[in-house]
């Protein structure tokens, strides 16, 4: 879009995600302004700056300098050598790139980049990072106690960053593609949390976080999915929560039934009337309420485990989802219905699942037949990836130890 202000034309467009305004000082007429705008958009999208006319080159050069972006190859003059793109600068380009997948999962990429920038160096040129650096990164993160799956996800973020840089012609190769992923077979956790132990942890959590614990325990929803639910998505009459595609990890819509145990908890949360169609879960404050950030939410569960004096490895909030799946299987719930509720992305649907729609009534009937207390807590976590624990491959919560500690109100 081009707009004239006084005698000066301005172009407003989003070259790499965020919309910015650019002054066109040498342009006098609208057709000329639109032509310059079109050339700028094409150059930014293709990364080809070598064949620009002097006016467009001058405008783009000022745009890059004003925004603090590193000058791409083809835009710099002979007397102005191109500056090496650093990992920190590349991270900013990655964040602003107009890709829906990146935007949706930015919080995951953000945490991954924190470790990447710390270990590889924020001022390190991206072209200097190669296979040995990435293998060293893997070793360092393992020595710190990082799980192989976590390290693989971090390098996956770095790989996506390089893919963006390749599209923008900042680099030519992706070094992460040449590095093998770490094996995750030896680090698989096997966890089941009993209803009694979940109650103990929930009681140690803040009041505003306790309903979130129970929603995950009774539905198998992920924390991110729970925090994104709005009031209009919860139908207490039909006992169904409808999750939109942009709210799930898989990118698929799903319907989650509300159990009879969860109904009164949601009714209590939804009694707050100052929100018309805001999020279901919020933190009360003097203004009524504020949204819950992921950083705030993720700290509540481990703090509760610490206050209970639990031995490590601690149960994780995500283990509530694993426990739901175990309760569904042990209750004899149809696997197709269970997978429909959980929304697993990694398994291809069978023909029967693709064409045999599951009704809301079937979902509610399945949840009503579920038993949510199938034994005592068991945590199997290989000691190689839980360095604070000296119990190699043991089930942390055996029957005898659980009975022994219940008298003092602590779970092990």
- Confidence band of 97 (pLDDT split at 50, 70, 90): confident
Query: How large is the angle between the packed helices 210-219 and 195-203, nearest 10 degrees?
Result: 160
Cβ pair 247, 279 in contact under 8 A: no
Q: Which sequence spans correspond to the domains of the chain?
A: 2-67, 87-187, 190-226+293-406
Asked if the domains at 87-187 and 190-226+293-406 fall in one CATH topology, the answer is: no
CB-based burial label for 227 (10 Å; 0-12, 13-18, 19+): buried
CA–CA gap between residue 119 and residue 136 (Å, rounded): 9
Tokens of 235: 């139908």
Distances (CA, A) of 99 to 126, 163, 201: 21, 12, 38
CA-closest candidate to residue 249, choices 149, 98, 107, 114:
107
In this structure, are strands 234-235 and 240-243 parallel, antiparallel, or unpaired?
antiparallel
Q: Which long-range contacts (CB under 8 A, 24 or more apart) does 2-5 make?
A: 2/30, 2/33, 2/34, 2/37, 4/30, 4/33
Cβ pair 308, 345 in contact under 8 A: no
pLDDT given for residue 6 in this prediction: 82
- Confidence band of 213 (pLDDT split at 50, 70, 90): very high
Cβ pair 75, 69 in contact under 8 A: no
pLDDT given for residue 275 in this prediction: 57
Rounded average pLDDT over 257-278: 85
- Confidence band of 346 (pLDDT split at 50, 70, 90): very low
Look up tokens 């301005």; give the residue.
10
Look up tokens 């300098």; give the residue.
65
Cβ pair 155, 179 in contact under 8 A: yes
Rounded average pLDDT over 236-253: 90
Task: Provide the percentage of residues in the chain whose pLDDT is more than 70.
Answer: 86
93: pLDDT strictly greater than 50: yes
Fold of domain 87-187: DNA polymerase; domain 1 (1.10.150)
Residue 78 or 162, more confident: 162
pLDDT given for residue 72 in this prediction: 77
192: pLDDT strictly greater than 90: yes
Backbone CA torsion sign across 204, 210, 213, 218: positive
Cβ pair 53, 39 in contact under 8 A: yes
pLDDT given for residue 15 in this prediction: 81
Rounded average pLDDT over 118-144: 94
Distances (CA, A) of 165 to 16, 95, 126, 158, 259: 12, 12, 9, 11, 47
Fold of domain 190-226+293-406: hpI Integrase; Chain A (1.10.443)
Query: How is 87-117 classified by DSSP, letter by letter?
Result: HHHHHHHHHHS--HHHHHTHHHHHHHHHHHH
In degrees to the nearest 10, what's the CA dihedral of 48, 52, 54, 59?
A: -60
404: pLDDT strictly greater than 60: no
397: pLDDT strictly greater than 70: no
- Confidence band of 387 (pLDDT split at 50, 70, 90): very low
């Amino acid at each position: 879009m081009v707009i004239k202000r006084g005698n000066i034309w301005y172009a407003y467009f989003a070259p790499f995600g965020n919309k910015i305004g650019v002054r066109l000082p040498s342009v006098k007429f609208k057709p000329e302004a639109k032509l310059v705008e079109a050339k700028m958009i094409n150059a930014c999208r293709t990364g080809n700056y070598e064949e620009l006319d002097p006016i467009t080159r001058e405008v783009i050069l000022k745009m890059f300098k004003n925004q603090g972006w590193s000058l791409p190859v083809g835009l710099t003059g002979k007397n102005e050598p191109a500056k090496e793109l650093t990992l920190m600068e590349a991270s900013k380009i990655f964040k602003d790139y107009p890709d829906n997948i990146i935007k949706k999962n930015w919080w995951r990429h953000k945490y991954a980049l924190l470790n990447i920038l710390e270990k590889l160096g924020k001022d390190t040129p991206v072209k200097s990072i190669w296979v040995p650096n990435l293998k060293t990164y893997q070793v360092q993160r393992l020595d710190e106690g990082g799980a192989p799956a976590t390290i693989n996800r971090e390098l996956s973020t770095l790989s996506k960053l390089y893919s963006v840089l390749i599209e923008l012609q900042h680099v030519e190769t992706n070094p992460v593609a040449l590095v093998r992923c770490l094996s995750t077979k030896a680090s698989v956790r096997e966890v089941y949390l009993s209803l009694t132990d979940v109650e103990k942890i929930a009681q140690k959590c803040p009041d505003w976080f306790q309903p979130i614990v129970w929603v995950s325990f009774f539905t198998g929803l992920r924390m991110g999915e729970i925090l994104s639910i709005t009031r209009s998505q919860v139908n207490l009459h039909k006992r169904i929560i409808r999750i939109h595609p942009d709210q799930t990890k898989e990118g698929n819509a799903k319907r989650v039934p509300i159990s009879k145990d969860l109904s009164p908890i949601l009714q209590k949360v939804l009694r707050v009337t100052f929100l018309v169609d805001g999020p279901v879960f919020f933190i009360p404050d003097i203004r009524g309420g504020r949204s819950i950030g992921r950083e705030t939410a993720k700290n509540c569960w481990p703090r509760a485990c610490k206050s209970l004096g639990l031995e490590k490895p601690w149960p994780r909030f995500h283990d509530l989802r694993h426990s739901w799946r175990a309760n569904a299987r042990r209750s004899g719930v149809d696997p197709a219905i269970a997978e429909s509720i959980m929304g697993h992305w990694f398994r291809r649907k069978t023909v029967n699942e693709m064409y045999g729609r599951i009704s809301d009534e079937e979902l509610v009937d399945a949840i009503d037949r579920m038993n949510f207390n199938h034994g005592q807590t068991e945590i199997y976590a290989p000691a190689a990836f839980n360095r604070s624990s000296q119990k190699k491959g043991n089930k942390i919560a055996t029957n005898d130890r659980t009975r022994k500690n219940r008298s003092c109100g602590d779970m092990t």
